[in-house]
Chain A
Amino acid sequence: MTKFSRKKLIVAAAPLAAAGPLARIALAEPPQRSATHEGHEHTVTGHAAMIGEDAPSIERNAAVDALLTPPRALPHSPGRLREYELVARDVDIEVAKGVTYPAWTYNGTAPGPVIRATEDDLLRVRFRNDGSHPHTIHFHGIHPAHMDGVFEVVPPGGDFVYEFPARPWGMHLYHCHATPLKKHIHKGLYGAFIIDPPKPRKPAQELVMVMNGFDTDGDGGNNFYAVNGPAFYYARYPIRVSRAQTVRIYIANLTEFDLINSFHLHGDFFRYHRTGRDEVVEYTDTVMLAQGERGIIEIDFANTGRFMFHAHQSEFAELGWMGFFDVVE
């Protein structure tokens, strides 16, 4: 843009120095600012413009949809084998409408698939690295040192089998622990890891939300935020739930760069079980999670209708971490 340089202003105003009287006349009349504020026409730019087809998100994606619902919980049966297969792959994924990101994924999505077991199951996760960099899987929970995904780095083309009894019950997570750690996590190598208690939880509509962000231009800050991948996905496709039954959300924070993330529900309160256990339970509508922190949210909706949920960090919400529950009878 053609800027008016300071120097040019000085040059232009120079003759004033030689024209004192005129300048004084000029200065006696300072530039007038319009005192009356013109009627400002406020356009509709609120959240009404950010729901359904108007929300800027990607087209409906079956792989993303699959991440919302966890596998079914199984009754307690010590020693039962639970097998999963995870393949690390470099995939270009659409993280916001029209924006592709060269992600590193478990099974093609970021976050990866939900891994679920009941306490005392024998968990066996076959891991193959089809990516271009060395990776691992580091599970949170109690397990032997050589199953921790720290020392046994799997090179490209290699594989590894993680096998250990699932415990303790609660809400956990898994992620790659190869270095540089920050890079390997924010590129997409993470997911939810649920261990069900021996005594089954009461029936509920179960959902999984893994908070994440994507730094698409590599400046060390996230350009987009969401749960389960693409920005504004649940704003464009609200999550339909029934008022008659408890909504149980397994939530984990795997956002990189930002120290904390949060979950805020509109129009209702929920019980928050820290780390998915019963030792710390809170009745609230907003919960804060540090990096790696997770828990279980249980909502008994009092009303039907559309209720927003989002990070209470407004910036995260406006960069994609926002959605709606469509509560029906």
Chain B
Amino acid sequence: MTTAARTEPRGGGWRLWAFVPLLLLVAVVALFATTGSSVTDLLGRTPPAADEFDIRRVEFERGEIRIRVTNPQPEDLTIAAVTVDDAIVPFTVDGSDTLSRLRSATIVVPYDWVEDEPILVGVTSSTGIETTEEIAAAVATPGPSVSGFLGYAAIGALVGIVPVALGLLWLPSLRRARPEWLAAFMALTAGLLTFLAFDALGEAFELQAALPSALGGAGLVLLGLALSYLTLTFISRRFSSEGAAATGLTLALLVAIGIGLHNFGEGLAIGTSFALGELALGTFLIVGFMIHNVTEGLGIATPAAEERRPVSWRWLVALVLIAGAPTIAGAWLGGYAANDWLGVLFFAAAAGAAFEVVVEVGRYLRDRAPGGLTSGWVLGGFLAGIAVMYATGLLAA
């Protein structure tokens, strides 16, 4: 083609050429859409639709069961019958009975359910296909009340804000620590964050596997991971001078953001599990979370200790809130509107943030640690961070 030989086409015409493939694609799609069935007919009959619903959430209120369903199928799906424990029950649907692709609806069933007993709900499509969901124990779902709202906030503050603030109190001691010990604690932070990243990643993959195939997939995990990793990279470059590793408060801020994202996922998990009666949120567990998250405070305090300027109280409060407050937001979201899709995204984002901060800490240690990245203090600290998490996990098993 003669046009291909031209290195500099005149005017802006070459820009228009960029639209040609798009226009042709539209034309081909339109052509296939109108005559497509004759192409697929060459292959024989397509199998019938699966017609299964995706039961997202089953909530129990006094004298009432609420079933949230989504249509994961390409074709429209109609809710025709609802069963509870293999009995047809009267029901109402908020909105239309017929759900188009990926649309959701809430089915409301007046039902005198029995507390703490297992219950089986089923939703049957107009083609007679029944989708069932078994609930291990029926427990009243906390409704949106002021006390419930405050309760989630209190739990979020207890497991998120308080321990991080306590951990930050190590700041004065760390400021007086020898550089080798500071480097070791920084590496310990990196090890701890690596552990959290793997944990969050595992959680994200587990959750996405349960999603309808149209919504799930490893791609969603990658999206969340890349989104948070690259965003944090961008932020760290904005705050630190060209080419240099993030240090001091900048690094502390990055660690706080990474931990904050992780704590959001943690809050989401706590809120959802509690709301759906899967988790007995006892004193034991809350104390566990508190002790666990004190180490997160240590992770923020260590880079902050390296900051040469005095650290103002405002900065400290900001760091605590960035790292701890997302637990409250996560608990609210999980308690009232949990959504698997969001869960995958946030756990993946938590993993991405943690990995990014590990890289930042690595750059810092490479530049600042006595003996660099390969010193015994750094290697030992990093390994200790992972090993302590793993070993205590074994002991608790």
Report which A residues bind B (CB closer than 8 A). Answer: 1-5, 7-19, 22-23, 25-27, 29-31, 40-45, 49-50, 54, 56, 95-101, 214, 216-217, 223-224, 231-232, 314-315, 318-320
Contacts and interface: CB of A to CB of B under 8 A. Distances in A.
8 closest pairs, A vs B, by CB?
Answer: A216-B128, A31-B282, A318-B87, A98-B80, A43-B63, A14-B392, A15-B291, A4-B273
B334 A2 contact: yes
A125 B64 CA distance: 53
Contact of A30 (B88, B283, B295, B397): B283
Contacts of A13: 284-285, 288, 292, 396
Contact of A22 (B57, B62, B63, B287): B287
B392 A17 contact: yes
B129 A217 contact: yes
Contacts, number: 172
Interface of B: 56-57, 62-64, 78, 80-81, 83, 86-90, 97, 110-112, 115, 124-130, 199, 202-203, 206-207, 266, 268-270, 272-273, 276, 278-285, 287-289, 291-292, 294-295, 334, 338, 340, 343, 389, 392-393, 395-397
Contact of A15 (B266, B288, B334): B288
Contacts of B282: 30-31
B283 to A, nearest CB: 5
Contacts of B202: 7
Contacts of A223: 124, 128, 130
18 contacts: A1-B338, A2-B338, A9-B285, A13-B284, A14-B288, A16-B288, A22-B287, A22-B291, A26-B284, A30-B282, A31-B283, A43-B111, A96-B81, A96-B124, A98-B81, A99-B125, A217-B124, A224-B88
Contact of A5 (B206, B283, B393): B206
A99 B284 contact: no
A1 B126 CA distance: 25
A79 B272 CA distance: 76
Given A13-B288, A56-B81, A3 B278 contact: yes
B98 to A, nearest CB: 10
Given A12-B285, A15-B288, A1 B272 contact: yes
A315 B128 contact: no
A252 B98 CA distance: 37
A7 B205 CA distance: 14
A303 to B, nearest CB: 28
A31 B284 contact: yes
Contacts of B125: 99
A2 B343 contact: yes
A31 B202 CA distance: 29
Q: Which of B78, B273, B278, B281 has the most CB of A within 10 A?
A: B273
Given A15-B295, A19-B291, A95-B128, A49 B389 contact: no
B265 to A, nearest CB: 9
A156 B170 CA distance: 86
A13 B394 CA distance: 11
B262 to A, nearest CB: 11
Q: Which of A2, A11, A214 has the most CB of B within 10 A?
A: A2
Contacts of B203: 5, 8
B284 A2 contact: no
